[in-house]
Amino acid sequence: MKRRFAIQYIATLPIWICHTTVFSQSNAAFDHTYPAWDALLKKHVRWPADGKQSRVDYKALSADRPALQKLLADWSAVSATAFAAFSREQQMAFLINAYNGFTLELILKQYPNLKSIKDLGSFVQSAWKKKFFTLLGEQRHLDWIEHEQLRPQYADWRVHAAVNCASIGCPALRPEAFVAAKLDAQLDDGMQRFMADRSRNRVEVGKLQISMIFKWFREDFEKGHRGINSVEELAARYASALTDSASEQAQIKARQLPVTHLDYDWSLNDGK
């Protein structure tokens, strides 16, 4: 009798209360500190001496592939409903970690028999368009995370220094998980390291030579997000990272240097 009454009572609750309960339970069940992912990254990703790039020990990571696949399966189990209950920072951290984690899995599918992530694509379909994982209840590809979610939905150009395409030309893969509690600081640090990496962004022969990322995604830096309205304005903000010369820094801030884009190195960011 009591059980029947309880069921009848729950059935009469307002829908929004039931949904709130589901959201709360789903959110609480997910560990937003990513301990297993953080441990894998700390074990297999290293900063070199300059602290601006990073390398992945794919050979050693291959031995830990079951651990990687387990945590990826846990992420795949997160429903769209549960994700909707995450805070904005939790959602961004989840998507960035998912992009980086599934990229590593994609590389390990063929490692060591590849020299670049581009080897995993074909003339008709790039590696980033392959639907090889499930996220938020549907089959997805890497471009869905970056170009359909992170870039348009969260409007933060710093994500370009957070997602890693397993290539030397790409901003570094951090040897730690992105977490909501320190997401802002992690995004700032990633962009600072990237802009200070003179192999990717620099002043040379009287020109501001910057990564192709700023050509491919120029529009992301022209929308006024975080006070930036152009790539040149972004360069001015990071002038001290781009060159040690005070006069060149002044030229960058005055928009006096012509801008060119460096060739992108698609070689695998392999620690070996």
Is 270 domain-assigned? no
Is 272 domain-assigned? no
Cα(126)–Cα(135) distance, integer angstroms? 19
pLDDT at position 28: 53
Looking at the fold, whether 76 and 18 belong to one and the same domain comes out as: no
Looking at the fold, whether 14 and 107 belong to one and the same domain comes out as: no
Looking at the fold, whether 1 and 78 belong to one and the same domain comes out as: no
pLDDT tens digits, one per residue of 177-209:
999 999 999 999 999 999 999 999 999 999 999
Looking at the fold, whether 92 and 4 belong to one and the same domain comes out as: no
Looking at the fold, whether 15 and 132 belong to one and the same domain comes out as: no
More confident residue, 20 or 105: 105
220: confidence class by pLDDT, cuts 50, 70, 90: very high
Is 268 domain-assigned? no
Residues in the chain: 272
Measure CA 117 to chain center: 16
Is 152 domain-assigned? yes
Looking at the fold, whether 159 and 67 belong to one and the same domain comes out as: yes
Looking at the fold, whether 54 and 167 belong to one and the same domain comes out as: yes
Looking at the fold, whether 126 and 25 belong to one and the same domain comes out as: no
Is 154 domain-assigned? yes
- The pLDDT > 90 percentage for the chain reads 87
Is 269 domain-assigned? no
pLDDT at position 124: 86
> Structure pTM?
0.89
Q: How many domains does the chain have?
A: 2
Is 16 domain-assigned? yes
Looking at the fold, whether 234 and 164 belong to one and the same domain comes out as: yes
Looking at the fold, whether 25 and 151 belong to one and the same domain comes out as: no
pLDDT tens digits, one per residue of 116-129:
999 999 888 999 99
Looking at the fold, whether 8 and 98 belong to one and the same domain comes out as: no
Cα(88)–Cα(170) distance, integer angstroms? 25
Cα(138)–Cα(51) distance, integer angstroms? 37
Looking at the fold, whether 117 and 217 belong to one and the same domain comes out as: yes
- Secondary structure string (H, E, C) spanning 17-80: HHHHHHHHHHHHHCCCCCHHHHHHHHHHEECCCCCCCCEECHHHHHHCHHHHHHHHHHHHCCCH
Is 149 domain-assigned? yes
The mean pLDDT of 263-267, rounded to a whole number, is 97
Domain, as residue range, for 134: 31-261
